[in-house]
Structure formats: C-alpha cells, structure tokens
Amino acid sequence: MRFPACLAALGLLAACGGKPLATTLTASSPSPAPDVFQCARNQLKPLGFDQSSIDVQDQRLMARRIDDTQRRPDVQFRRVIDRLEILAQPGTGNTVTTLTVTPRTFAEYTTQRGPTEVQEKTSPTAQEAAQKLIEHCGGEVAPAAS
C-alpha cells in the first residue's frame, strides 16, 4: 500500500513543479515614483498596448494588447490577450522608486457563460514589451510635465 501512495505523491510533485506562467521584472530608479509612473503610461502606446485600468493614488496600472491573428483548432477559442501589470512604488535605501512589471498572457474562449480567460505561458511579445518598459523607465527619467 505504501508504494502506490509514494508514486501518487511523486506524480503530484512533478505536475506542480513546472515553470511559472508569469515572471515579474523589477528595476530601481533614482527618479520619483510619479515620474516613473508617468513614463510607464507614456510608453504603452509605442509598445502597442492600451491602458485598461489605472490607480493614480497607488501608482498602479494595467494595460492590454489584443491579438486577433492567432488561430487554434478549438471552436471556442476567440483570441489571445497580453496584459502588463505595472506598479511604481517608493523604494527603500538608495532606491527612490521601484518599478515592477508583470507580463501575462491569456487565451479567451467563448463559452455558454460568456467570455472566459485562461492564463497561459507568457508570450514573447508581452515579455519583450515588459523588458522594453523596464529598460526605458527603470533608470533616470525626465520629470513629468504639469
């Protein structure tokens, strides 16, 4: 009886031990958080993303890019959605601001209950956009114009 239980436990560990679906990128900036946040907002359009939500007080925003060109052999598949979760928060120590960007990719399906999103491995497009955002806004940025 002990052997099947050990085998089942090993199978469960192997199934749960995969790579994460999303990887968070972080950069330290000597610029104030509002300037870094505004820089990130300004970079969304050049990267092909649209702002979907914003929290100015906590300096958080979400952006998305819809890819209608992808096709799958599933009649319920609709499209792929890349999302960026961006957070600019005051840093600690010598870091004035910490910029955090988490890219994610979702497949949208049409079901009887309506559109359903299923998270997938992050697409190269979303990863590249997050990396460019970190490179452009993660260092010294120009102050935001009032």
Query: Domain 20-137: which CATH class?
Result: alpha beta
The whole-number pLDDT of residue 105 equals: 96
In this prediction, residue 104 carries a pLDDT of 96
Is pLDDT above 70 for 68? Answer: yes
| Cα 136 to chain centroid, rounded | 16
Domain-wise residue ranges, the chain: 20-137
Per DSSP, the three-state class of 142 is coil
What SS3 state is found at 116? Answer: strand
- Residue 11 clears pLDDT 60, i.e. is over it: no
Condensed to tens digits (0 to 9), the pLDDT of residues 70-97 reads 888 989 999 999 999 999 998 777 668 8
